[in-house]
């Protein structure tokens, strides 16, 4: 039995037998305005073992600028070529409610033609937000998981990526990002996956726990909740809401096909209308068997090669699939497994059902 079809059957069993379970609102939604912010900056990594930039024009310019800020002026016409230095980009995510003095991780990536950042140290680099303001300053020793080595004969070996590293707790937050958490009389919870039924269920669960008219569904992706004005009370109020259990609605019926790996995923809501599908294969084989005509001795004739083609047609036994009204996912998988069909056969059957209008699901091919 094809291993991909076995995996389909296993996934189908899990999806079909799984019961609806309640989940916390914390796992289904997030508070509007409470979000991370991306930070980016540029800097220099020093201390490299001759694996830094060689011909990049960014590095000398950055070195000259940094030395000028530190009070050191290079003579005119001097080109500071430092193979132990690399020009890098630095980026990080600033968590919501991050306060000045707290530490965050940063990721460092080479921009020039450095061979490796292993063993380097990032010099002080300001990190700016989308508004251009500096929200953190990064500096520290890099942790690089990659390794690169080369020989004089041109041989080279690379493990992972030596041009990207991290500095754990390498940036210090300089200022906080304003939020709208305490600037309104209402809080809005945005669902991770938009769904009208789930939004309605969430609002009903909040009203049942905290009183009628406390929450109302704005649309398929948002639920508005009346909240206390006092910030300290609002924090505990959100804590209570986050731990309220809600039974989310099932996902829409979908069939996802990965054309590269042949993997097919079908969720438990897929249904098929009455249909009959015949699926088989036709094999045409053409073989060449040239015939050589040899003339008699002293006849004055010449040898002639006459082409002769043999054509054979073989049709495998067709498999007829008959689906009754509302047939379930389990029955589809059993029918396909019963005839030993492969993933490509299953995809062809599903596409035929979709074209005929018998497949009540969205077919997605990635």
Q: Are residues 87 and 214 in the same domain?
A: no
Q: Is there a single domain that holds both residue 47 and residue 168?
A: yes
Helix H segments across 211-318?
231-242
| Statement to judge: residues 45 and 152 lie in one domain | yes
CA distance 88 to 70: 20
Give me the pLDDT at residue 300, please.
Answer: 66
Residue 254 CA to residue 269 CA, distance in Å, equals 8
Kindly state whether residues 159 and 54 are assigned to the same domain.
yes
Whether residues 211 and 110 share a domain: the answer is: no
Q: Which domain holds residue 103?
A: 37-173
Q: Is there a domain that residue 351 lies in?
A: yes
Number of folded domains in the chain? Answer: 3
pLDDT confidence of residue 140:
92
Q: Tell me, what's the pLDDT at 319?
A: 57
55 & 169 share domain: yes
**Whole-angstrom Cα distance, residue 285 to residue 309?**
10
Same domain for 148 and 44?
yes
Within 13 Å and on the Cβ side, how many CA atoms surround 131? 6
Residue ending a domain, choose from 116, 149, 173: 173
Same domain, 157 and 186: no
Give pLDDT, residue 167: 93
- Residue 170, H or E segment: strand 164-173
In a domain, 29, yes or no: no
Note the pTM of the prediction, 2 decimals.
0.62
Strand-strand pairing, 362-365 and 254-258: parallel
Question: Can you give the pLDDT at residue 106?
Answer: 95
Angle between helices 329-338 and 3-17 (to 10 degrees): 160
Residue 320 has a pLDDT of 57
* 126 shares a domain with 54: yes
Q: Which of 139, 173, 207 is the last residue of a domain?
A: 173
Query: For the chain, which residues score pLDDT lower than 70?
Result: 1-20, 74-81, 146-159, 251, 259-264, 267-290, 292, 298-301, 305, 307-347, 349-350, 353-354, 356-360, 362
Both 238 and 125 in one domain: the answer is no
Same structural domain, 79 and 207: no
């Amino acid at each position: 039995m094809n291993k991909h079809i076995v995996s389909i059957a296993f996934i189908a069993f899990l999806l079909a037998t799984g019961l609806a379970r309640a989940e916390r609102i914390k796992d289904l939604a997030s508070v509007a305005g409470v979000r991370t912010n991306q930070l980016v900056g540029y800097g220099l990594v020093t201390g490299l073992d001759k694996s830094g930039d060689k011909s990049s024009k960014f590095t000398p310019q950055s070195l000259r600028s940094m030395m000028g800020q530190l009070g050191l002026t290079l003579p005119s016409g001097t080109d500071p070529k430092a193979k132990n230095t690399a020009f890098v980009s630095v980026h990080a995510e600033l968590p919501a409610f991050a306060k000045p003095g707290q530490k965050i991780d940063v990721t460092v990536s080479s921009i020039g033609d450095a061979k490796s950042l292993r063993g380097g140290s990032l010099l002080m680099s300001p990190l700016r937000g989308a508004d251009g303001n500096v929200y953190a300053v990064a500096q520290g020793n890099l942790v690089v998981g990659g390794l690169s080595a080369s020989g004089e004969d041109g041989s080279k070996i690379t493990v992972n990526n030596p041009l990207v590293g991290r500095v754990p707790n390498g940036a210090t937050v300089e200022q906080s990002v304003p939020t709208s958490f305490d600037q309104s009389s209402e809080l809005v919870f945005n669902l991770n996956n938009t769904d009208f039924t789930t939004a309605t269920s969430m609002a009903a669960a909040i009203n049942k726990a905290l009183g009628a008219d406390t929450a109302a569904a704005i649309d398929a992706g948002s639920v508005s909740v009346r909240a206390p004005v006092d910030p300290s009370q609002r924090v505990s109020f959100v804590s209570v809401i986050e731990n309220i259990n809600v039974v989310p609605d099932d996902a829409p019926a979908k069939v996802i096909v990965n054309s590269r790996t042949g993997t097919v995923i079908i969720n438990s809501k897929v249904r098929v209308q009455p249909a009959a599908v015949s699926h088989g294969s036709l094999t045409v084989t053409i073989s060449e068997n040239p015939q050589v005509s040899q003339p008699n001795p002293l006849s004055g004739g010449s040898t002639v090669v006459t082409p002769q083609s043999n054509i054979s047609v073989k049709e495998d036994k067709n498999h007829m699939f008959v689906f009754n009204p509302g047939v379930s996912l389990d029955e589809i998988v059993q029918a396909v497994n019963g005839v030993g069909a492969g993933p490509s056969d299953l995809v062809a059957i599903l596409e035929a059902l979709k074209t005929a209008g018998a497949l009540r699901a969205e077919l997605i091919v990635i």
